[in-house]
Structure 1
Amino acid sequence: MTRTQLVGVIFGLLIVAALTALRASDPPILRLARDVTFDEYQRLVPRSFEAAPVRVVDIDEASLKAFGQWPWPRDRIAVLVDRLSEMGAAVIAFDILFSEPDRLSPRTVVRDVGGVDPALIDRLPDNDEIFARSMDGRPVVLGFGLSNQGGYRPPVKAGFAFTGESPLDAPPRLAAATPLRPQFETNAAGIGHISLNPGSPSAVVRAVPLLLSDGEQLYPNLALEALRVAQGASTYVLAGAPDAPNTITLIKVGDFVVPVTAAGELWLYVSPDRAERYVSAGRVLAPGGVPADVRAAIEGSIVFVGTSAAGLQDIRTTALGHNVPGVSLHAQTVEQVLSGRFLSRPDWADGLEILSIAVAGSLLVLLTTFVSPAVALACGLLITAMALVASWLTFRYAGLLFDPLAPILAGSITHFAATAYRFLVTDRERRVVRRAFGQYLSPSLLYRIEHTHDALRLGGDDRELTIMFVDVRNFTEISERLSPTEVVRFLNTLLDALSRDVIANEGTLDKFIGDSIMAFWNAPVDVTDHASKAVRTALAMRETLARLNESDAFGFGSEHRVGIGVGIHTGLACVGNMGAEAHFNYSAVGDAVNVAARIESACKDVAFDILISESTARSLSDCALLEAGALGLKGRSIRTRLFAVVGDERLAASPEFTELRRIHAQLIEALRSRSATSRKILAAAKMKAARIGAGLPDFYRRISRRADHFADEAVPKAETSAK
């Protein structure tokens, strides 16, 4: 691990730690995002509406039109209780506050007028008394609201039993309540609060508090109390977590067990609002008698009385995004308990999500740093898919709520930060390498040098290189026939094609010098068999040039063919970045470079297109080589033995070349000894060479004029430039 990578890992892990701490603190924005995610789950698969013994007697617009504006006199509410009881309602629960005297009561109206005998006033009907009498002995549950003033606490009609420690501090706090009329408190079978989301900043009702607490007493909500009264139960049984005080996990009411949050809230799993759930209060109060379908709907049902009239402002928003009367949510609470289809978020869900952020984030940091951002992105997408699928499946089949969004967002931020750091810092050196080497290195070599420490250090190293020079034959004559633009086009076509052969064989393109190419092998990274790959490149160049000439790629016509000369030498050279700190080139210098350049020039004297030094030839084992003699190269005090590269290993193994090589050896011996038989042997060699081609006829036509190149004294005993 390099220092830059270590810093990158530390940077990434700090980001992961910050995101983990942020999730642990659970700010409102994350809670909102989590709630919205769970809303979407419900929208995809809402709880299906099932026929259940739960109904809403709705004081709707039609009822108000038939019986007058709200509030109705309580003697009419008493009639409603009488009729519902007569129809066999299991419970009548009012999502209505009865906190003040009925101002429409005859006794109240006359008293307010004044000047009437008090004895007469006392004989007038009182609607509150009428309503209280209608409740007496009947399963009526009244609701109370929350208040910030006074110290009123409603009576609790049921007992509470705890398994474990007392959970009095677990539910939401009840500071004060709206008071009920004393006679209502006495005659009601049950009393429950009607608040659906106390203290929540969101208008969406997602969880209903089944209990409130003032620190000394627990208070059930309207739906829970209606369910208790319907079963004739007298006690609630609360279970808490054994290792977490002041928590509630289950509420048992009669025969039903309700899983709740630690604060005693029920996650609402709502169904779309359906007309079958409602019965208009106007139809129950109809003077002509109760219709049969209304009687059938009410009989044996838990009945909630409330209003959907828009003017009464009891409209709530559900997780499905629907606006529904608040009373319907009380009804849906009971429906959910009866159906047994619950949603729950385990106490350990937060810990699991926090752990997933830490683990997945750390994994992404390591992948981004040591593998690649693309692999990290693929793994991140896989983790995202797994999180979404797991969260969805647990919701769909187990009713469990696990948040996939926080780990996904944290993973995305981590990947972005780690990738940005790598791009800006870690990969900066590699981008410099690509800019410096991308145009003259093969992709495999480029990848290797990118991962080499200090690849672009200014300075050089002594390395054994195989160096190649390529030059265009008769370029002066060609350029004289062409315009400058045509010369540039010709060079671009030729040099581009030849340089591709260098890169394809893991060579390094050093530079273009007019119509020449300089390349070398075994730097900036080690290249196995570098001499062999350089020679194979020269042979590939020969074939490339033949194709270009045959296809008239230069536009010269068939009568003008372009030729090249290639010189290759293996020896010690200094290779590295040379120039200034801000602007440098990667190149090689030294005697070996000069020798390779002189060998390329010798191609003209030898009349052959590919010549290599003896040091390069010693590294080859399978190419078709013929000795070209020992030539005196410019600037060198001793002669250098050269070899002509005729072809590859297939040609070397052919019978024709095997015979030519034997005859050539005889010719070299005859030339060295200045034997008279050299003419006869040369004629035989020319005949064999004519069958092979590859430029050998010109080579042998010139060889008789170079007899001194093969003299014994011309061959040095030790070649200073040899490998």
Structure 2
Amino acid sequence: MFKNSAMWSLVQRTGLTRGVGHAVVGVWRFVSSRWVPLLTTLLAVVVAVEELRRDEAKYQNVIFDRLDYVYYDTRLALLPKTPITKDFSVVVLDIDERSLAAEGRWPWSRAKLVDLNRQLMDAGVYTITYDVLFSEPERNLALEMSDLLQSEEPTIATRLRDFEQQVDFDVLFAESIAEANAVLGYVLYPNEEIQVGALPAPVETLDPDLNLLRRNYIGYVGNLGLFQEAASSAGLINPIPDLDGVIRRVPLLEYYNGSLYPSLGLASLYNYFLIDVADAPFGLRATGENEAVFSWVEIPAEEQAHQVLTSKDGSVYVPYAGAKKTFPYISATDVLRGTLTEQERLQLDGAIVLIGTSALGLLDLRSTPLDSTYPGVEVHANVINGLLSDQLRRDLDGGHAMVAITMLILGALYVLVFRRFGPFSLLGVTVLLMVVVVAGNVYLWQVQLVNVPVSSLLLLILLLGVFNMLEGFLRERSSRQEVRSMFGQYVPSEYIDIMLNDPDSINFEGANKELTVLFSDIRSFTTISEQLTATQLKGLLNRYFTPITGIIFNRKGTIDKYVGDMVMAFWGAPLEDPQHAEHALEAAIDMINKTAELRDEFVAEGLPAVEIGIGLNTGSMNVGDMGSEYRRSYTVLGDAVNLGSRLESLTKFYGVKILVGPETYTQCPNYFFRFIDRIMVKGKEEPIECYEPLCRQGEQSPELQAEIDAYNAAYALYRQQQWQEASDAFAALLMTSTPQRAKLYTVYLGRIADLRTQTLSANWDGAYRHTSK
């Protein structure tokens, strides 16, 4: 209802909606372009800092962790994998489907495993490692048969008990384990009710008051004490699945019940070098009073041991050499039956053999970044290979803090610097930043062997980039609309296109610039308006203003305003125009010629004849968007503007069509001028010289040149107060000149007649004071 009221019409006419609109847009721009990116950055920083507070691996950020997983897996898939060392041989002895079909279902008899150990030792294997648990004893067949026959055949039952030791395959297997110097596996659990079997000797027992970054393991499943005592050592076979169940990390040392225990890969490698893993040196780094994190683990080697740096929780990233079965696989049944190929025999000689399974039914297939059904035993093979080649990666200490600081810096750059860029420049900057972050991350991963989670940083760059590009597009669109709204009625459309393509070239704020201003007025307009009806007058003005405006636009001018029959325009703003004076003069000449054509048309139609006078002046002016909150206009102000108006009003006095100021005259050397007078306009004490343009330089006829020379000589006599000689000279010019130029000579003849009766001061400079506007 309000929009249909008279009040709403008043609001629209007075520009209140524009003022309110500018205020709303201004507030939105300030809030959106600064606070939204700032708050987004701070939120991302808070998340990154929260990562620093992870205690005992309890804290996990679902969203960013999963993004980090995607980034990690993609990077791992695209970059070169960890090469398999040629100095050592790591082989997987696979309890595969073919072995199960040939040897029977799992678990196999311990007697069969004794035979397997013997065959491997005969093949020259250095280290036998079981990625299998032996937590339960095997049934003794002699005892079982004796129990069955005790009631019916007691004699036979007693005789069977004599074979108890011969068929106690657990004992035989334990002896085989000791002979093979084998390594067994064990599992830690977060359930204290699960405590099965025996654990190996720990690497170290820690101070119970020490707070160590660790996982909360309070239960275990180990091997029978018989086997564990016989084994050379044992290692943890737990991987560390991430939130998505994918295996990316394994611990080298794990905490349980106040002690540190080795991983299967670490135990196997120490066994390979015939060193007790319980003596493995390791390092902890203090982070506070009674607080520490893991730092390094020493890895033995043939020549010199080296330290492998670990993440704070003692883990390393699995150095995957490729998809599953990248390492040599040998079927267990081929070893048992002696059907190995020559190549397989060479592979086993001096090798570290990991005994595990790839069979689906035995449930030891893991999800990894490279394969969703990856044999768990090969995960340990990759770790051993990485330990041997010193190619293990870890989390960078302070990585999250580095990401948080980088976020703050980038957020500040987007808020303070990048938001000023255009959409396409901002797109380039955003892409470049993401490339730099990824390149730096790849460098850290490949060269420094550290992992830095940058998904949150990349997401922040993407969000800030997209937001600022969207805001930039909206800002540019708003700016374009504002430019078109502001200048659409003042400058030609192609001029607006130039401004839109280079927004920095325009400025709505007030600025002092040298410009050229034009004032054009229809002479005797009051008389003309009295001869016409309102409709006729409107039609005449429209027919006049339309081509005149086109001329100004064609000559790169800016329309300032129409006031009745007056047109005001200027050159040199909003876009720079080094030739603003000459373009303004060309427009003035075109306007005079066009008015002559229109005058003939109007007279032929019975309308009044139209004559115009034009004043041009060049000088320093203040130009900008000026006015009030109700109505504004892009206009020029200043003394130079006022002088242009005065010059227009003097054209009739001197009988000329165009009158220009001294600076316009100076900046139009390509035109031939006639000096008009030295004048002082009302309100000014400084005299100025004004000129009339006659034609372009070189186009003046000899007669015109001679007339102007004679006029300049007459004016010189006038300045010398040689009144009679000057009067005679002007009288001669009046007799020979054309009517269009003769009015000026009449002015001087009248002025000389008046000056003859006056006593002039000694410093009289010929200036004439005009007392009216």
Into which bin does the TM-score normalised by the smaller protein fall? 0.7 to 0.9
Q: Letter of the 2:181 partner, please give it.
A: P
Distance in 2, matches of 1:119 and 1:333, equals 51
Aligned to 1:74: 110
Alignment of 1:670-685 (within 5 A): 675=727, 677-678=729-730, 680-681=732-733
Residues 29 and 705 (structure 1), Cα distance of their counterparts in 2 relative to 1, 3 Å cut: same
Alignment of 1:196-275 (within 5 A): 196-197=239-240, 200-234=242-276, 235-243=279-287, 245-255=291-301, 256-257=305-306, 258-272=308-322, 273-274=324-325
Distance in 2, matches of 1:306 and 1:547, equals 102
Please point out which of 328, 345, 353 is paired with 1:303: 353
Distance in 2, matches of 1:295 and 1:302, equals 13
Q: Letter of the 1:263 partner, please give it.
A: D
Residues 275 and 10 (structure 1), Cα distance of their counterparts in 2 relative to 1, 3 Å cut: closer
Q: Are 2:110 and 2:138, in contact at CA under 8 Å, matched by a contact in 1?
A: yes
Aligned to 1:283: 334
Distance in 2, matches of 1:129 and 1:667, equals 140
Residues 501 and 144 (structure 1), Cα distance of their counterparts in 2 relative to 1, 3 Å cut: same
The answer to whether the aligner puts 1:645 opposite 2:693 as a matched pair is: yes
Please point out which of 427, 432, 441 is paired with 1:391: 441
Q: Which moved more, 1:331-340 or 1:410-419?
A: 410-419
Q: Are 1:233 and 1:253, in contact at CA under 8 Å, matched by a contact in 2?
A: no
Q: Are 2:207 and 2:258, in contact at CA under 8 Å, matched by a contact in 1?
A: no
Q: TM-score, normalised by structure 1?
A: 0.74
Please point out which of 377, 401, 411 is paired with 1:361: 411
Alignment of 1:138-537 (within 5 A): 138-147=180-189, 148=191, 150-152=193-195, 155-158=198-201, 160=203, 169-197=212-240, 200-234=242-276, 235-243=279-287, 245-255=291-301, 256-257=305-306, 258-272=308-322, 273-274=324-325, 277-286=328-337, 289-321=339-371, 323-368=373-418, 379-415=429-465, 432=482, 435-437=485-487, 440=490, 443=499, 447=504, 450=507, 452=509, 467-470=517-520, 495-503=549-557, 508-511=558-561, 517-520=567-570, 535-537=581-583
SS in 2 for 1:511: strand
Aligned to 1:663: 710
Q: Letter of the 1:19 partner, please give it.
A: A
| 1:160, distance to aligned residue in structure 2 (A) | 2.6
Q: Letter of the 1:145 partner, please give it.
A: V
Q: Which moved more, 1:332-341 or 1:6-15?
A: 6-15
SS in 2 for 1:83: helix
Q: Are 2:135 and 2:196, in contact at CA under 8 Å, matched by a contact in 1?
A: no
Residues 158 and 182 (structure 1), Cα distance of their counterparts in 2 relative to 1, 3 Å cut: closer
Q: Which moved more, 1:383-392 or 1:616-625?
A: 616-625
Q: Which moved more, 1:435-444 or 1:337-346?
A: 435-444
Query: For each residue in 1:144-190, what CA deviation from the matched residue of structure 2 results, as whole angstroms up to 9, or x when unmatched?
Result: 23343535275454553599999783443322112422322222222
Please point out which of 24, 40, 44 is paired with 1:19: 44
The answer to whether the aligner puts 1:32 opposite 2:66 as a matched pair is: yes
Distance in 1, matches of 2:347 and 2:594, equals 94
SS in 2 for 1:251: strand
Q: Which moved more, 1:414-423 or 1:187-196?
A: 414-423
Distance in 1, matches of 2:374 and 2:745, equals 109
Q: Letter of the 2:365 partner, please give it.
A: I
Distance in 1, matches of 2:516 and 2:199, equals 98
Q: Which moved more, 1:169-178 or 1:565-574?
A: 565-574
Question: What is the aligned residue count?
Answer: 669
Residues 20 and 563 (structure 1), Cα distance of their counterparts in 2 relative to 1, 3 Å cut: farther
Query: For each residue in 1:645-678, what CA deviation from the matched residue of structure 2 results, as whole angstroms up to 9, or x when unmatched?
Result: 3468x77999999866432224557999784554
Distance in 1, matches of 2:572 and 2:551, equals 22
Aligned to 1:689: none
SS in 2 for 1:96: coil
Q: Letter of the 1:212 partner, please give it.
A: E
Q: Are 1:193 and 1:222, in contact at CA under 8 Å, matched by a contact in 2?
A: yes
SS in 2 for 1:271: coil
Q: Are 1:166 and 1:246, in contact at CA under 8 Å, matched by a contact in 2?
A: no
Q: Are 1:464 and 1:522, in contact at CA under 8 Å, matched by a contact in 2?
A: yes
Distance in 2, matches of 1:720 and 1:522, equals 31
Q: Are 1:205 and 1:318, in contact at CA under 8 Å, matched by a contact in 2?
A: yes
Q: Letter of the 2:712 partner, please give it.
A: A
Aligned to 1:539: 585
Distance in 1, matches of 2:65 and 2:188, equals 25
Q: Are 1:538 and 1:610, in contact at CA under 8 Å, matched by a contact in 2?
A: no
SS in 2 for 1:247: strand
Identical counterparts, % of pairs? 24
Q: Are 1:167 and 1:240, in contact at CA under 8 Å, matched by a contact in 2?
A: no
Residues 9 and 165 (structure 1), Cα distance of their counterparts in 2 relative to 1, 3 Å cut: farther
| 1:238, distance to aligned residue in structure 2 (A) | 0.9
Alignment of 1:685-704 (within 5 A): 699-700=740-741
Q: Are 1:155 and 1:191, in contact at CA under 8 Å, matched by a contact in 2?
A: no
Aligned to 2:685: none
The answer to whether the aligner puts 1:49 opposite 2:96 as a matched pair is: no
Q: Letter of the 1:395 partner, please give it.
A: W
Distance in 2, matches of 1:300 and 1:392, equals 36
Distance in 2, matches of 1:70 and 1:9, equals 66
Distance in 1, matches of 2:133 and 2:353, equals 16
Residues 587 and 206 (structure 1), Cα distance of their counterparts in 2 relative to 1, 3 Å cut: same
CA RMSD of aligned residues (A): 5.5
Distance in 1, matches of 2:673 and 2:148, equals 130
Distance in 1, matches of 2:208 and 2:468, equals 47
Query: For each residue in 1:510-546, what CA deviation from the matched residue of structure 2 results, as whole angstroms up to 9, or x when unmatched?
Result: 1357997421479999x9xx9x976423223268789
SS in 2 for 1:225: helix
Distance in 2, matches of 1:539 and 1:151, equals 100
| 1:241, distance to aligned residue in structure 2 (A) | 2.2
Query: For each residue in 1:471-503, what CA deviation from the matched residue of structure 2 results, as whole angstroms up to 9, or x when unmatched?
Result: 799x99xxxxxxx99x99997676345225344
| 1:219, distance to aligned residue in structure 2 (A) | 1.9
Query: For each residue in 1:178-236, what CA deviation from the matched residue of structure 2 results, as whole angstroms up to 9, or x when unmatched?
Result: 242232222222222211125x3222211111222223222222221111222221211
Distance in 2, matches of 1:629 and 1:168, equals 99
| 1:331, distance to aligned residue in structure 2 (A) | 0.9
Q: Are 2:218 and 2:257, in contact at CA under 8 Å, matched by a contact in 1?
A: no
Query: For each residue in 1:291-350, what CA deviation from the matched residue of structure 2 results, as whole angstroms up to 9, or x when unmatched?
Result: 433322212111111111122222223333463211011111111111222223321322
Query: For each residue in 1:399-458, what CA deviation from the matched residue of structure 2 results, as whole angstroms up to 9, or x when unmatched?
Result: 232344433333343455567778889998997577324664785998587473xx69xx
Q: Which moved more, 1:55-64 or 1:184-193?
A: 184-193
Q: Which moved more, 1:405-414 or 1:538-547?
A: 538-547
Distance in 2, matches of 1:205 and 1:251, equals 21
Q: TM-score, normalised by structure 2?
A: 0.70
Structure 1 residue ranges without an equivalent (≥5): 477-483, 557-561, 634-639, 687-696
| 1:285, distance to aligned residue in structure 2 (A) | 1.4
Query: For each residue in 1:55-85, what CA deviation from the matched residue of structure 2 results, as whole angstroms up to 9, or x when unmatched?
Result: 0001112212222333323322222122112
Residues 171 and 677 (structure 1), Cα distance of their counterparts in 2 relative to 1, 3 Å cut: closer
Structure 2 residue ranges without an equivalent (≥5): 1-25, 52-60, 529-537, 602-609, 682-687, 756-765
Q: Are 2:517 and 2:568, in contact at CA under 8 Å, matched by a contact in 1?
A: yes
Q: Are 2:616 and 2:664, in contact at CA under 8 Å, matched by a contact in 1?
A: no
